Every structure is written in structure tokens, then in C-alpha cells.
Amino acid sequence: MGCQEPVQQAVSPPGYDLAAPKKFLMNDVLHEISGIVFLKGNSDTTYAIEDEDGKLFYFHLGDGKYPYWKFGKRGDYEDVAILDDKEFVVLRSDGSLFVFPIDRARMEKDSEGSKKSEQDLTRVYENILPAGEYEGLYAEGDSLIALCKNCADDDQRDEVSAYVVKYNAGHTLAVTNHFLVTVNPKKLTSEHKKVRFHPSAMARHPVTKEWYILSAVNKALLVLDDQWKLKKTYPLDPGLFKQAEGLAFDQKGNMYISNEGAGGNANVLLFSYKP
């Protein structure tokens, strides 16, 4: 979205210390944790998905219990959002959305390992997003925003597509807008020979209103202003952020980043906000 000014490197975003989180280890059922979210910013309950079994887990960090709600069949699920405080929306990597009501998902608690399934309550929007690979989803009010990790039409050296999804007059979800998120490739690294920007999660800061975008492949946290203009990039320590796939803020601005197991235990890292 226009030319970018040189982006300054820094150790941590204002108010955070990326080197000093509180770590919560996850059980094996969440070894492939790929997305986290809070309802109304309330961190008492963490909602999480992993990228294989079509289950929404809900738990209090640190209590070691992981009840879940079965919303779909096996698949590559990448992120979860809460739309208008009424519905969970899960993003599959192919751009499909799975939508089910919050009240039913929270009504009955399933013990870990149960086979309870209420998939008939899930509405599926197959390939609602243009062809590509997706990992980031965020809901603000009645709008969903999905970030493309790998879309053929994007020049991923410095831009990726974002799509806005809303309900139409017939109460059916539909894509209503498209825009590009531009970054400075000189400030990114990659596990691959050619550096490409591959976002893996995003969320909006409740206090500053800035957009935070994670990229596991680039080992980076990007902060953008409320108009999606890149402000700064922050390198992530590979020893601490083994595979950062989930991002959420609570109502106080505390930041939570989830990491897949990648050879060890998956975890959720809590970074306290001290403005």
C-alpha cells in the first residue's frame, strides 16, 4: 500500500519483553496447537485448535485439563476467531470456514479423550476464500479478516492478500473486500533460500489498536498501525519461539503466543503488558 519507510529493528514492542514470558506447557492433545482466541478478551478461558482433528479445546492455562468440542472431521485447521461474540469461526488452510455457535460449544463440557460430536451444528463454507494457503484469521465486530500465507497472485517478497468476510442480507458469509498488506522484505529472514513473507497469525492490540502479525517461517513479529502500514519488525528467538502459530491479546493488552511442539512440548507464552 505505497512505499514504505525504512523499518527500525528493536528487541521488543513497547510494553513487552519478548525474552521473558511466562510459559504454559500443553498436553500432547495440543502438540499441534495452531490458533488461540479469547472471548471478549477474558483470559480465564483459552480457546484453541490444533491442525489435525477438528476439535475446539477450551481450558484455563495451567490447570492441565483440555475438554473440547468436536466441530469437524480431520483436516488442516490453522486459526480460530470469535465473530460478533456469538460464533466461533475456524479457518482451514485451503480457505474454508467452519462456523458454530458459542453457546452450544460452551454448554456441555467434554472430558479429554471423549468422542462427543456435534458436527451437525457446524456450518461449512467450503473454499469461501480465493485459492491459496491461509493461516491467519481475526474477527472484529461483525467482520472477519483472513491473511493469505501463500497466494499465487501475491508478490510475497513484500505483500500478502487480506480478505474481509461478512454476512450478507441472506445471513450467508461472503467476501466483501480485498486489500494488500505490505512489508519491508529487507527486514525479514526465512528458513528458505528466497525470503518470502508467510504470516501465520494476527491479532489487534486492544489498547494501541495496532495490528500484530506473526510469521513462524520468518521468525518475526510485525507491528502495523491501524491503517496496516508497517511500523516495526521484531526478530523472534528460535529457541523460545519454535513454531509460533497462534496469537491473542486479553482485554488488558497482555499478549499470548502459542507454539507447536516441534520436537518437544507445545506451549503458550504469556507476555505481560506494562505500558
Q: In the prediction, which pLDDT does 158 show?
A: 81
Q: Is the pLDDT of residue 111 over 90?
A: no
Ordered structural domains, the chain, with CATH: 26-271 (2.120.10.30)
Cell numbers standing for residue 91 = 479457518
Higher-scoring residue by pLDDT: 138, 195 = 138
Q: In the prediction, which pLDDT does 119 show?
A: 63
Q: What is the 3-state secondary structure (H, E, C) of the chain?
A: CCCCCCCEECCCCCCCCCCCCEEEECCHHHCCEEEEEEECCEEEEEEEEECCCCEEEEECCCCCCCCEEECCCCCCEEEEEEECCCEEEEEECCCCEEEEEHHHHHHCCCCCCCCCCCHHHCEEECCCCCCCEEEEEEEECCEEEEEEEECCCCCCCCEEEEEEEEECCCCCEEEEEEEEEECCHHHCCCCCCCCCCCCCEEEECCCCCCEEEEECCCCEEEEECCCCCEEEEEECCCCCCCCEEEEEECCCCCEEEEECCCCCCCEEEEECCCC
Q: Is the pLDDT of residue 2 over 50?
A: no
Task: Provide the residue type at 256 as one letter.
Answer: Y
Residue-wise pLDDT tens digits, 11-65: 899 999 999 999 999 999 999 999 999 999 999 999 999 999 999 999 999 999 9
Q: How confident is the model at residue 7 (pLDDT cuts 50, 70, 90)?
A: very low
Residue-wise pLDDT tens digits, 140-150: 999 999 999 98
Least confident of 112-116, 138-142, 249-253: 112-116
